[in-house]
Amino acid sequence: ERSAVRRLPFGRLADGDVAFFERLMPGRVLTRQEEVMPFNVDWLKSLRGSSQLVLKPQTTAEVSQVLRYCHEKNLAVNPQGGNTGLVGGSVPVFDEIILSTALMNQVISFDKVSGILVCQAGCVLERLNEYLDEQGFIMPLDLGAKGSCHIGGNVATNAGGLRLLRYGSLRGTVLGLEVVLADGSALDCLTSLRKDNTGYDLKQLFIGSEGTLGVITAVSILCPQKPKAVNVAFLGCQSFAKVLETFTTCRAMLGEILSAYEFMDEKCMELVERHLKLSSPVADSPFYVLIETSGSNATHDEEKLNNFLEQAMASGLVADGTVATDDKKIKAKVLGLCGFLRSPIPQVLWSLRERITEALTHEGYVYKYDISLPVAKLYDLVTDMRARLGQSAKNVVGYGHLGDGNLHLNITADSYSRSLLDAIEPFVYEWTARCGGSISAEHGLGFKKKQFIQYSKPREAVALMQQFKAMLDPRGILNPYKTLPSAA
């Protein structure tokens, strides 16, 4: 793919440049090939850059000095968080300097009254969740990559994940940002106010901009209180129509305690069982649904969940299921329905859904698509793609955040094939555009999807984005070759 992109006329790294960075941050400049290599390869191991330098600043002032220098010398920079992205947005395309936020991992403040957390961009999502847990709070987002991903990267890509149904997107929960612009100037919009109606909301420019407009160095984010009662139900459905009807019933009966509604097809389950040795607690089904409830009253939640499960079983929507709870006091009667079994802990059930991406990597090469669609049409794309590809693909699977209308369509083959890619693209994007969907629900565009932006955005919108880019980064040094389409 890189062969189709020409290196832009950025400066080349010289010995004097490395010496400057070593004086600025001694011991935090990586130049040896074996040190730099892991930063050059994306999580899927499908893309590899050729950067010769990784910088690991600890402060906003250091990021500012790095970018000021790079701007003057016309050196391209690739900001990188946990490097867990799936569209090639976090690794260099050529020899861009990698600016890693790994050491910017300090919590700045937390207000237990308002629930507002202020922290540096390099804080790992799971570490933040552990910190908040001790205070009786949680992060408003949860991702399969939480053990590695950084909050700054989450914000830069507007990551969605498993809690969006309940807590909304980062565009609503992020209250403020500190960002360093391409010329090194620091923009301090790190407000900790729920309401601030003074002019343009500049932080929204940087949320989802994938490091192309500025480097996020700190985040102010609104965190919900930790729910006192969490239940997870894992259910088997005999058709996608029943998955949809179960969602409608679930939303009506569980109301405010519904925090996740995820689905996966039987092929996903087969791969998770085969490659990760996990076992399904539910008998073979064409589809599986994971429902999570989070509330403040265990008895109240138990009653609601009971009523929903009874309704779902009685009306034939659900054929089999199991329930897990982190509240030891919930009585076994929730679990007595039609042979429902108790799973050890909710996370055991969550792992069946969260680790699908990992299981797919064992299948060879994976073509990954992250799409928003009207919920009623969500699985039609999987069915149509299976029919279109036939035996040329090893697997075509569908899973995702059904409650958010977000399908993850994954196609596997023993190895990369140009002819298979041509059969998938642009068909998958044309199909999505016809339904009024989005070609990227949560992964972003990065390097892999940038040329397809026109399937989701009108020409005028793309032109305006390019004007923002030209204004904030006139030399184009920040994460080049990503997000916006290359000039013809």
Residue 336 has a pLDDT of: 45
Using an 8 Å Cβ cutoff, are 151 and 222 in contact?
no
The answer to whether 104 touches 179, Cβ cutoff 8 Å, is no
Distance between CA atoms of residues 488 and 6, nearest Å: 11
173: Cα separation from own chain's centroid: 15
**What pLDDT score was predicted for residue 428?**
97
Look at residue 444 in the predicted model and tell me its pLDDT.
93
Q: Exposure of 345 by Cβ count < 10 A (0-12 exposed, 13-18 middle, 19+ buried)? A: middle
**Structure tokens, 363:** 């299948």
Per the DSSP assignment, residues forming a β-bridge with 398 are 409
Residue 94 in tokens = 């050529």
The pLDDT score that the predictor gives to residue 339 is: 46
Give the mean pLDDT per block of 10 residues along the chain (488 residues).
80 97 98 96 91 98 98 98 94 98 98 97 97 96 92 96 90 97 97 90 96 98 94 94 96 94 96 93 93 92 91 92 69 43 70 90 93 95 97 96 94 95 96 96 93 95 96 97 84
**The model's pTM:** 0.91
pLDDT at residue 2 in the model = 46
Taking the C-alpha atoms of residue 403 and residue 244, their distance in angstroms, rounded to an integer, is 9
Whole-number pLDDT of residue 335: 43
**How does DSSP assign 28-64, residue by residue?**
-EE-SHHHHHHHHB-TTS--B-----EE---SHHHHH
Angle between the N-to-C axes of helices 240-254 and 298-314, in degrees from 0 to 180, rounded to the nearest 10: 150
* DSSP string computed for 398-433: EEEEGGGTEEEEEEEESS--HHHHHHHTTHHHHHHH
Closest by CA to 367, choosing from 403, 401, 392, is 392
Burial bucket for residue 446 (CB in 10 Å: 0-12, 13-18, 19+): buried
Q: What gap in Å lies between CA 283 and CA 281, rounded to an integer?
A: 7
> Which domains, ranges and CATH numbers included, belong to the chain?
107-222 (3.30.465.10), 229-329+345-355 (3.30.70.2190), 364-456 (3.30.70.2740)
What gap in Å lies between CA 159 and CA 152, rounded to an integer? 10
Q: Bridge partners of 222?
A: 116
* Chain position carrying tokens 């698509």: 369
Q: Which helix (H) or strand (E) holds 476?
A: none
Distance from C-alpha of 441 to C-alpha of 401, rounded to nearest angstrom? 10
Which stretch of DSSP H or E encloses residue 203?
Answer: helix 203-206
Of 42, 98, 49, residue with least CA distance to 70: 98
Q: Residue 418 CB: number of other CB atoms within 10 A?
A: 7
CB 162 within 8 A of CB 143: yes
Report helix, strand or coil for 412.
strand
